[in-house]
């Protein structure tokens, strides 16, 4: 069983009736429903719950954390970001969606100021091209995913060079963007996935949900012994070197 926690800021849906109409149970609710599987144990957590829904117990029990945030990154408590950060380094998977590129946790893991990028809201077409055809995150996806209308994110995107480039987006207005990228941080795996502006039904799209579901499986912790550090006794005698 994979323990998945979907964290959503959950403010747009409560404040804007047009957005509530697209996501009556919140973005977290749509994703939870969309990726449901027999071997996923899914819970959700939101900003306004005590500890943002991320108590020590929840963080410890979570195998993969999904993160959507936009207008209230600064309201996420630093102490909780620290705990999530530690847990990622110890092997919890993290999937950062859309405007989560500016979340405290993503910036901390990337080591960049803001993950700055270009953006535009013009109801334009987005085509996400599969770049890594061997990557498990692209399982079951065709040559590309097409979204009829999305917000545009364009390069430059100030992040460290990703470990893997899985998708590149093209937008009708001409820009391109590294929209599906992976990073390894110590024992943790991170996937950033661009689509998902709150005014579009992106998290009802079957291909988008499939990518998120694939990413959960890819990012899940690998059961193995903890790495060993520090001064090491040689495994066999080293010639010409006297050991104490």
Binding site residues, Zn ion, CB under 5 A: 99, 151, 197
Distance (Å, whole) CA 82 – CA 39: 29
Q: What token pair was written down for 13? A: 């849906």
Q: What is the DSSP letter of 113?
A: S
Smallest distance, Zn ion to C-beta of residue 212, A: 16
**Distance from C-alpha of 69 to C-alpha of 46, rounded to nearest angstrom:** 10
Closest CA to 126 of 164, 180, 163: 180
| Distance in Å, CB of 198 to Zn ion, minimum | 6
Using the minimum distance from each CB to Zn ion, give the nearer residue, 17 or 50: 17
Residue among 91 and 100 whose Cβ is closer to Zn ion: 100
In whole angstroms, how far apart are CA 121 and each of 16, 57, 59, 154, 231? 17, 39, 34, 12, 55
Tell how strand 164-171 and strand 188-193 pair up.
Answer: unpaired
Closer to Zn ion by Cβ: residue 63 or 150: 150
- By beta-carbon proximity to Zn ion, the closer residue of 189 and 197 is 197
| Residues 89 and 108: beta-carbon distance below 8 Å | no
Smallest distance from the beta carbon of 17 to Zn ion, in angstroms?
A: 18
Task: Name the residue nearer to Zn ion (CB basis): 99 or 182.
Answer: 99
As beta bridge partners, residue 93 has 64
State the nearest-atom distance from the C-beta of 150 to Zn ion, in Å: 9
Q: Least Å distance between CB 121 and Zn ion?
A: 8
- Name which of 120 and 184 has its Cβ closer to Zn ion: 120
Q: Which residue is nearest to Zn ion (CB)?
A: 197
| Distance of closest approach, residue 177 Cβ to Zn ion, in angstroms | 13
CA separation, residue 28 to residues 46, 84, 186, 224 (Å): 8, 18, 27, 31
């Amino acid at each position: 069983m994979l323990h998945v926690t979907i964290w959503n800021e959950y403010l747009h849906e409560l404040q804007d009736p047009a957005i509530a109409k697209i996501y009556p149970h919140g973005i977290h609710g749509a994703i939870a429903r969309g990726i449901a599987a027999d071997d996923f144990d899914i819970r959700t957590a939101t900003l306004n719950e005590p500890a943002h829904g991320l108590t020590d117990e929840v963080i410890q029990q979570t195998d993969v954390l999904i993160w959507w945030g936009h207008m209230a990154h600064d309201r996420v408590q630093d102490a909780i970001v620290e705990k999530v950060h530690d847990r990622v380094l110890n092997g919890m998977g993290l999937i950062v969606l859309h405007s989560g590129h500016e979340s405290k946790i993503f910036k901390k893991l990337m080591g960049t100021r803001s993950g700055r990028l270009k953006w535009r809201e013009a109801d334009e077409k987005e085509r996400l091209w599969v770049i890594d055809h061997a990557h498990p995150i692209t399982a079951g996806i065709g040559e590309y995913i097409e979204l009829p209308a999305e917000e545009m994110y364009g390069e430059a995107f100030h992040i460290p060079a990703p470990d893997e480039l899985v998708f590149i987006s093209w937008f009708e207005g001409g820009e391109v963007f590294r929209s599906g990228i992976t990073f390894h941080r110590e024992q943790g795996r991170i996937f950033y996935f661009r689509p998902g502006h709150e005014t579009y039904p992106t998290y009802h799209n079957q291909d988008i949900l499939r990518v998120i579901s694939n990413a959960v499986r890819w990012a899940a912790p690998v059961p193995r012994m903890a790495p060993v550090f520090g001064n090491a006794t040689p495994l066999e005698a080293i010639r010409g070197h006297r050991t104490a």
